[in-house]
Structure 1
Amino acid sequence: MKRIAPLPSSLIKRYHGWRATQFEENKAWYARLADKGQTPRTMVISCCDSRVHVTSVFGAETGEFFIHRNIANLVPPFAPNEDYHGTSAAIEYAVTALGVTNIIIMGHSLCGGVKGCHDMCSGKAPELEEASSFVGRWMDILRPGYKRVAEAGGEDSEQISALEREGVMVSLENLLTFPFVADRVEAEDLALHGVWIDIRDGHMEHYEPASNKFVAIK
C-alpha cells in the first residue's frame, strides 16, 4: 500500500522510552494480563478529545478499565441492523463477554462534538445536516438532548454547557434500550453512572438520581 507511511521517528522514540521504563518495571503484570486475559470491572465510554485522559483521571492501571471512545461520548439506541456499530459492539462485548459491573459515561467541557450538535440543530452548521456528514449523522443521537436545553432557553454558551451533560443523560437512556444491559441493571449486577469533567480545572460532577441533577464530587 504505497500511501501508508511508517511510524514517525518521534513516536518510535517514545515507544522505546516506554518499553525501557514502564513496561520493564511492570513486565510481570503485562505477562499476567497476556496469559490470564483481561478482567476489567468497569467500562468507560468517553470522548475522542485528546484532552480527556480517562486512566489518568481515575488513576487506573493497565487492564483495569475497558475504554471506548467516540465523538461526544455518545451511545446510540439499540438498533440491530446491517450497519456498522462500533459503540454498540463495544458495549455488547463489555457486558456479555467481559461481564463488567459498572459502565461510566464521561462527558466533558468544551466538547467540539456537542458544540457541533448545537450549531447544527440551531441552523448554524448546515454542512452537518448533509447526509454525507458522518459527524452530523452521529450527532443526531443528541438531538433529543438539544430539544430539552433549547426549551430551557438561555445564552448559547449556557445551552452548550447544559448539552454536554444532556449528552451523558441521552447516552444513559440509550444504554437501557439494550436488552442485555437492561436485564443486568434490573438484576442489580450492573450499575450505570454519568460524570462530567471540566478539562480546565479538573472539577468533576456526577449524576445524582435522587435530585435528578449533576452535582460536584467532593
Structure 2
Amino acid sequence: DAEIASQALGIVLTKRGKHLGEDIQMCGVPIHAAQDYLKKLIALGHRVAVCEQVEDPAEAKKRGSKSVVKRDVVRLVTAGTLTEDDLLPARASNFLAALSMVRHGEADFALAWADVSTGETAVIDLPANVVADELARIDPVELLASEATRMALAENHVILPAGLLVKVDPDLFDSEKAAERIVGAFGAEVVDPSAYSRPSRAALGAL
C-alpha cells in the first residue's frame, strides 16, 4: 500500500524496520494536508482505509514501554461514499450504484443508486438491453456488481464500464438479507421491502 500511495501521490517511499526479513515500507503526508492527498487518491480510483488511534497511550504503556498504541480502520473512503464538501466533485450528484440480477429462466436486473452526501436514493427494474443507457443517464462514480452479473450482461453484449465497476461478493445481493438491511437503513415505517421486486430489493440492499 505504501508503494502504491508513493507512486500515486509522488511522495518519497521510506522504510522502517523489518517484518519476516522484509523491509517495512512507509510513506506519509502532513496531517494538515491529508484531505488534499485523500482527494487525489480517490480521483485516481483508489479506495482508502482511514485508520485512527483507538486507545489512550497510557493504556498501551501498561502493556510495556514498547507497546504499540492500538489503531483500527474507522472508515473506508471510496468515490461513491464521499460526504465532505471539499472532497465531493463539482457535479450535480455523486451516485454510488448497485446492479443486481435474479434468474428465473431469463435474467432479471435492477439498478439502485444513492448519493450518500444528500440521501437521494432510487431503484428501478430494467432489462439487460437498457442497462448501459441507464448507467449513462445516472452517471454513477462507482458501480457495485457481482462477477455473475457482469458475465450475464456480457452475454447480452452489454459491457459494464471497467473504471466504475467494483466487483463484490454475490452474497451482498441476497434479497432476504437485503430486506433486513433496507429496514435497518430506512425504517419499516418508511420503506416496505416487500413492495419491491426481488432484484430491486437485492440492488437497494447492496447499497
Q: Same fold (TM over 0.5)?
A: no
Give the TM-score of the pair, scaled to structure 1.
0.23
Greater relative contact order: 1 or 2 (C-alpha under 8 angstroms, separation 6 or more)? 1
